[in-house]
Amino acid sequence: MNFFITATDTDVGKTFVTAALLSAINQNGQRAIALKPVQTGCENTPNGKLVAPDVQQYRSVVAENDIPPCYAFRLPASPHYAAQLENQVIEIPKILSYIKQQSSDYDVTLIEGAGGIFVPLNQKETMLDLMIQCHYSVILVCPNILGVINSVLMSIETLHNHGLSIAALVLNFDDENDEIFCCNREYLQQHTDIPLITLPRFASADIQQAVPYLQKQLSHLFRQPENQWDTDFDRQHLWHPYTNALNPLPTYPVVSASNYHIYTTSGRLIDGMSSWWCAAQGYNNQALNQAAIKQLHQFSHIMFAGLTHQPAIELGKKLLQLLPDFSRVFYSDSGSVAVEVALKLALQYQQKIAVQKTKILTVLGGYHGDTLGAMSVCDPVDGMHFLFNGVLAQHIFAPRPTCRFDQEFDETCLAEIEQLFAQHQEEIAAVIIEPIVQGAGGMWFYHPKYLQHLRKLCNQYNALLIFDEIATGFGRTGKLFAYQHADVVPDIICVGKALTAGYMTLAATICQEHIAEVISQDNGVFMHGPTFMANPLACAVAAKNIELLQQGNWQQQVQRIENIMQAHLAPCKRLPETQDVRVLGAIGVVELKESVDIQTIQAFFVEKGVWIRPFGRLIYLMPPFIIADEDLIYLCQTIFQAISYQKYRRKSC
């Protein structure tokens, strides 16, 4: 049970309320601690030691609560400016470590902010960012004065929009006999569902006078809340991906995420996965947040049959600007469905030109999704969907490309796929392939010239070429789209994952004009229509995400990540457990000789403060583009450390 005490402004009695609440909780029989991590206006004592005035108020009610701030500055000014004058930079991770260390032995932790919600801590982060990363329930303090209704309602909206719960609203300096004060109080009670606590105008020295008021009005806070994280329910009833339902792998409760950090109930993790490769911009990006909030206040969803909306139009324009060889955008609600759409487009296209081609050619080692059509073009031997081979459509599989991205191209790797084309030319409607990088099928990087030859084969045998860029699109491989390494253009391309920067599910299947022209002949229609097609919320965020990508320095970021991973994953090559190390763009892979034990190695990574999710024999990184150098280096070093310890490996495959 923890609370973050903030205010609508500075100098409104926040410290007074915190100290009174500290006393009330301790008198209620629980051990509480009050901390003010950042304090300006500190005073020098005769021995030269800085004294934090607010901490002195805490000590006046609970003697042992005499813990100096994490950051203490002399000038009574905005924290970022006071720190700047003393050649310091306030760092939120340091504050979080300080809070964790100081509060570990207490039942209740009270954190007092400095000033109001948007008080800057450094050039990029405010007190709100600290509140988000703490993720404590908020107690909002405000003075009952003229203008309080406006400031309180704006503060409440801000806190709610950033995912913070408000435990109580403390109306300070209240006068029950004043008509204006009464009017303010009644309006706030009617227009919010937040518990409202009123405190008369006590003298600052009379903290104990406030205690009975708080004990009476905040009694609901003193009760031990129900377990916020019902992990028993999770284990017994929630089925996580690729997990045994009766004996599931452990899960780690997440309370918040910001930049490239994930905050669990146990601490902070450096994210090396971009949440399955989609959160390239990191978490809690304010521009993306605002795009979602703006659209949410207009409408969150509307059917796309017979209606349209600006977010879909804007996103379509941006996608076609990035992909000038294409002309038609079909939205769907996930990457798997985008693949389904692409396959159906190809099959319906071939039907329209009176050619009964019903087979898809693809390569082994590929992965295209978890729906039935997508599964049918995934690797049927070593892929994760081999159990369903008996019920899936039977397609044609060529060997996976053996020509490594970083070696000379050998045309002999095309021999078998050329034979398959010749043998099945009357059947092959299309080829689907992940360009350059085979993702979940093995994190394999192959030579761009393979795609050039594949394009020629498709042209020769009148087959459509589909590129599945769901994992690789939007800069991940060092090019905006992976197929641009090969300088060829497919007929159809699928995008997803990083399209919305991980904010919500959205995908698109984008095709050249001749596909639309053929299917639309004789008033033909394409037979597909997802319910959540072109969801306005998702489209609004995706459009903003592309705007950020175009305005930003993603190429330099990806090149920086590639350089660091090449240098710092290289030591893994000399370990006897390692089969291969490969890096391309912002993808780094260590392939082992044996499969890892997921549960054990995952626990090791979490203990080390990183989030890396291996599979099979692969430990890989796809970090957010915004990750700092030192944290990326630490991710690489932690992988080396994990492999070095025999106990974190299976004894056999």
Secondary structure (H, E, C), 468-483:
ECCCCCCCCCCCCCHH
Assess whether 341 and 403 both reside in one domain: yes
Q: What amino acid positions are annotated as catalytic residues?
A: 242, 367, 468, 497
Give the pLDDT band (50/70/90) at residue 205: low
Is the pLDDT at 542 greater than 90, yes or no?
Answer: yes
Of 462, 495, 528, the residue at which a domain comes to its end is 495
- Average pLDDT, stretch 39-57? 80
Three-state DSSP at 138 gives strand
Assess whether 11 and 137 both reside in one domain: yes
Assess whether 22 and 153 both reside in one domain: yes
Region of residue 506 (left: phi > 0; alpha: psi -120 to 50; beta: else): beta
Which of 62-66, 189-193, 298-302, 438-442 bottoms out in mean pLDDT, i.e. has the lowest? 62-66
- Residue labelled with tokens 């005490």: 5
Of 477, 495, 513, the residue at which a domain comes to its end is 495
Residue type, 612: I
Q: What strand order describes the sheet that includes 578-584?
A: 578-584, 587-592, 618-621
Three-state DSSP at 145 gives coil
Q: Name the more confident of 432 and 201.
A: 432
Q: What secondary structure letter does DSSP report for 225?
A: P
Distant-in-sequence contacts of 453-462, Cβ < 8 A, 24+ apart = 453/411, 453/414, 454/417, 454/488, 455/488, 455/489, 455/490, 457/417, 457/418, 457/421, 457/431, 458/430, 458/431, 458/491, 460/421, 461/421, 461/422, 461/425, 461/428, 462/355
Contact 113/139 with Cβ under 8 angstroms? no
In a domain, 603, yes or no: yes
Percent of residues, the chain, with pLDDT higher than 90: 71
Question: Could you tell me the two tokens for 613?
Answer: 């999710």
Is the pLDDT at 643 greater than 90, yes or no?
Answer: yes
Q: What is residue 649's predicted lDDT score, i.e. its pLDDT?
A: 53
Instruction: Give 398's strand partners.
Output: 363
Q: Which stretch of DSSP H or E encloses residue 233?
A: helix 231-237
Which of 55-59, 357-361, 416-420, 613-617 bottoms out in mean pLDDT, i.e. has the lowest? 55-59
Give the pLDDT band (50/70/90) at residue 651: very low
In a domain, 468, yes or no: yes
Which of 117-131, 194-208, 233-247, 620-634 bottoms out in mean pLDDT, i.e. has the lowest? 194-208
Number of Cβ atoms within 10 Å of the Cβ of 495: 27
Give the pLDDT band (50/70/90) at residue 48: low
Assess whether 51 and 185 both reside in one domain: yes
- Average pLDDT, stretch 533-556? 96
- Residue labelled with tokens 């692409």: 342
Assess whether 208 and 258 both reside in one domain: no
Q: What is residue 104's predicted lDDT score, i.e. its pLDDT?
A: 85
Percent of residues, the chain, with pLDDT higher than 70: 96
- Average pLDDT, stretch 476-480? 97
Domain carrying residue 244: 234-283+554-648
Return the CATH number at 595. 3.90.1150.10
Alpha helices in 436-504 (DSSP H): 448-460
CA torsion through residues 406, 412, 418, 423, sign:
negative
How far apart are the C-alpha atoms of 439 and 590, rounded to whole Å? 13
Give the pLDDT band (50/70/90) at residue 37: very high
- Average pLDDT, stretch 467-475? 97
* Phi, psi dihedrals of residue 564, rounded to the nearest 5°: -65, -45
In a domain, 310, yes or no: no
- Average pLDDT, stretch 145-174? 90
In a domain, 163, yes or no: yes
Assess whether 394 and 271 both reside in one domain: no
- Average pLDDT, stretch 373-397? 88
Give the pLDDT band (50/70/90) at residue 631: very high
In a domain, 309, yes or no: no
Number of Cβ atoms within 10 Å of the Cβ of 314: 17
In a domain, 501, yes or no: no
- Average pLDDT, stretch 454-468? 97
Is the pLDDT at 396 greater than 80, yes or no?
Answer: yes
Assess whether 210 and 168 both reside in one domain: yes
Contact 509/494 with Cβ under 8 angstroms? yes
- Strands (DSSP E) along 525-614, which ranges? 578-584, 587-592, 610-611
Return the CATH number at 42. 3.40.50.300
In a domain, 180, yes or no: yes
How far apart are the C-alpha atoms of 567 and 633, rounded to whole Å? 9
pLDDT in tens, 207-244: 777 777 777 766 666 554 544 678 889 999 999 998 89
- Average pLDDT, stretch 410-436? 96
Which of 210-214, 294-298, 521-525 bottoms out in mean pLDDT, i.e. has the lowest? 210-214
Contact 361/396 with Cβ under 8 angstroms? yes
Number of Cβ atoms within 10 Å of the Cβ of 518: 16
Give the pLDDT band (50/70/90) at residue 646: low
Start-to-end C-alpha separation, the chain: 44
10 Å CB burial of residue 395 (0-12, 13-18, 19+) is: buried
How far apart are the C-alpha atoms of 167 and 194, rounded to whole Å? 7
Q: What is residue 652's predicted lDDT score, i.e. its pLDDT?
A: 40
Return the CATH number at 466. 3.40.640.10
Q: Name the more confident of 457 and 12.
A: 457
Number of Cβ atoms within 10 Å of the Cβ of 237: 9
Question: Could you tell me the two tokens for 103?
Answer: 């509060």
Give the pLDDT band (50/70/90) at residue 493: very high
Q: Name the more confident of 511 and 648.
A: 511
In a domain, 385, yes or no: yes
Assess whether 243 and 105 both reside in one domain: no
- Helices then strands, counting H and E runs in the chain, come out as 22, 26
Q: What is residue 220's predicted lDDT score, i.e. its pLDDT?
A: 62
Average pLDDT value for the chain: 91
Assess whether 58 and 13 both reside in one domain: yes
Contact 639/572 with Cβ under 8 angstroms? yes
Which of 212-216, 298-302, 313-317 bottoms out in mean pLDDT, i.e. has the lowest? 212-216
- Average pLDDT, stretch 5-20? 89
Contact 625/558 with Cβ under 8 angstroms? yes
How far apart are the C-alpha atoms of 112 and 127, rounded to whole Å? 10
Assess whether 10 and 145 both reside in one domain: yes
- Residue labelled with tokens 């969150």: 300
Assess whether 614 and 636 both reside in one domain: yes
* Phi, psi dihedrals of residue 26, rounded to the nearest 5°: -65, -40
Q: What is residue 13's predicted lDDT score, i.e. its pLDDT?
A: 86
Question: Could you tell me the two tokens for 442?
Answer: 């093995």
Of 222, 249, 275, the residue at which a domain comes to its end is 222
> Whole-model pTM?
0.86
Q: Name the more confident of 325 and 43.
A: 325
Assess whether 204 and 261 both reside in one domain: no
How far apart are the C-alpha atoms of 35 and 70, rounded to whole Å? 9
Residue in 637, 649, 638, 634 with CA at minimum distance from that of residue 576: 649
How far apart are the C-alpha atoms of 554 and 548, rounded to whole Å? 9
Number of domains in the chain: 3
Which of 47-51, 427-431, 546-550, 559-563 bottoms out in mean pLDDT, i.e. has the lowest? 47-51
